[in-house]
Structure 1
């Protein structure tokens, strides 16, 4: 399989250098996801821009992590589940919510579970949801805006999980305490 570079600020293409420097300033290191995406400056810029946009939604940090981890688990992205588990812990997401997301089990909070199930539905149906799926989301207290914002989070995870699958991105030390592994046997192409 073709090996891809994990770039540094020095080795990255010109249009990725500033983006990697910004990531290093923000996190204290350059996450391997960004180092890999740097090979295609448009991908790195697009991912970072969409992440910034997703953070501007009406969703709380916990709600955003519900969407991101649900999609990461469904997409079988070991890197993303570990990274977002670490991020979720740092943001104060409760351990029971985090464990339910990592295991693909029911969240005890009914509102968060409705969001979780809708995120799963968007991913699994590729957006072809039924009215009953929307009705369940709305009955939990969410609205049409929420339904559309789930798509933003789903798109963000497509960008990162597909990158990580293509690059076999190694997990950063910062995320290793939250290592997660999917059974990719039913996900990978035969």
Structure 2
């Protein structure tokens, strides 16, 4: 972790946290080799930390449906870029590179998904997610029909909406806390192995 602040709010010491919050953070550290700053930043309010990561896990680790881990990250990168969330574009761009095994894809989606080398099905998914982020009041049945034509189900639409909505919250909290991305995210999966 760099010496610069990762948040404009106080970041608690690990040993001062409730056991379950500390254990979750240590488990992430063990798996990733570093602690993503979102965990340290949100630990400032343990009850909200728990609620945030419980919902995160419910939508991101859901195995039912047709969305792949890479497609879930595509939604996050595209909508986070729209919302101007630097932390989420960088952190989830890294995860997208890992899942898609495509070192340029996250940058291409963050700038303009319409010009990214993704399928028409994935473009329809991102079009819906962006509309839901930008102009949710304009979502109507014709948007669902366009997704059905691409093979999406109502459960898939719920997944797209849940990810979009949850990361709308995440984007806004990252912006308000001035959350900084870990150095590790900038280089993760940039060069294929």
Please state which band the TM-score falls in when normalised by the shorter chain. Answer: 0.7 to 0.9
Number of the residue aligned with 2:4? none
| Partner SS state of residue 76, structure 1 | coil
Deviation per residue, 1:19-66 (Å, 9 max, x gap):
222222222222111101001112221222122212214211122112
Alignment map for 1:5-84 (pairs within 5 Å): 5-12=10-17, 16-54=21-59, 55-56=61-62, 57-58=64-65, 59-84=67-92
Q: Matched residues in 2 for 1:113 and 1:95: separation? A: 19
Q: 1:111 to 1:153 in 2, by over 3 A?
A: same
Gaps of 5+ in 1: 179-190
Q: Matched residues in 2 for 1:82 and 1:65: separation? A: 11
Alignment map for 1:133-148 (pairs within 5 Å): 133-148=143-158
Q: Which runs of 4+ in 1 moved over 6 A?
A: none
Q: 1:170 to 1:99 in 2, by over 3 A?
A: closer
Tell me whether 153-162 or 137-146 shows the greater mean CA deviation.
153-162
Tell me whether 91-100 or 16-25 shows the greater mean CA deviation.
91-100
Q: Matched residues in 1 for 2:177 and 2:91: separation? A: 16
Q: 1:170 to 1:96 in 2, by over 3 A?
A: closer
Q: 1:26 to 1:47 in 2, by over 3 A?
A: farther
Q: TM-score, normalized by length of structure 2? A: 0.81
RMSD of Structure 2 on Structure 1 (CA): 2.2
Q: TM-score, normalized by length of structure 1? A: 0.82
Higher RCO, 1 or 2 (CA under 8 Å, sep at least 6)?
2
Number of the residue aligned with 1:126? 136
Number of the residue aligned with 2:3? none
